[in-house]
Amino acid sequence: MPFQHVIVAYDGSPESQTALDRAADLVRSTPDSRLTVVHAFHFPNFVVGEAMVVAPVITELESISESDRIMDEAKARVGDLPNTSFTMLQGDPAIAILENAEHIGADLIVIGSRGLGTFKEWVLGSVSHHVVQHAKIPVLVIKAPAQGR
């Protein structure tokens, strides 16, 4: 059975560009299917002792501006595709993607992978790894083609 509502995470990286292209291909091949492109941004907060330190307002404004630019880039890539919507999410990217996928009733998540090794993935955490481990629907993880091949 083809997927009817695909959600793709987009951050402008080569992996997410490839993921967006593949998600668009899936939607094009299935009449009446929908595509939702999401970009998640997060304002980091740090706890020092009993105090919480938040990012300066200028950092938040720069993050929102960069997010707008990234969404404009996504719209330029697939904005002509019917049944496509674009959503900016604020919060931890993995959690925001999963919650939005459930909220909109998506039946497939497409997400890029940075191709980190197991140790780096464990130390740094990985949005795609978290999404794969916690999603209630299928997840398609895309790696960008190797450059120079």
Q: Grade residue 103 by pLDDT with cuts at 50, 70 and 90.
A: very high
CA separation (Å) from 50 to 8, 28, 46, 53, 92? 38, 52, 10, 10, 22
Q: Give the pLDDT of residue 143.
A: 84
Name the residue range of residue 42's domain.
5-142
Could you tell me if residue 148 is inside a domain? Answer: no
- Between 114 and 27, where is the model more confident? 27
* pTM, rounded to two decimals: 0.84
Cα–Cα distance between 62 and 9 in angstroms, integer?
Answer: 20
Could you tell me if residue 117 is inside a domain? Answer: yes
pLDDT (average), residues 102-122: 75
Could you tell me if residue 93 is inside a domain? Answer: yes
Burial (0-12, 13-18, 19+ Cβ within 10 Å), 112: buried
Cα–Cα distance between 6 and 106 in angstroms, integer?
Answer: 6
Q: How far is CA 80 from the centre of its chain?
A: 20
pLDDT (average), residues 86-114: 95
Cα–Cα distance between 105 and 55 in angstroms, integer?
Answer: 33
pLDDT tens track for 45-65? 666 777 777 667 777 778 889
Could you tell me if residue 13 is inside a domain? Answer: yes
Q: Does residue 83 have a pLDDT over 90?
A: yes
Identify the CATH number of the domain in which residue 129 sits: 3.40.50.620
The number of folded domains in the chain is 1
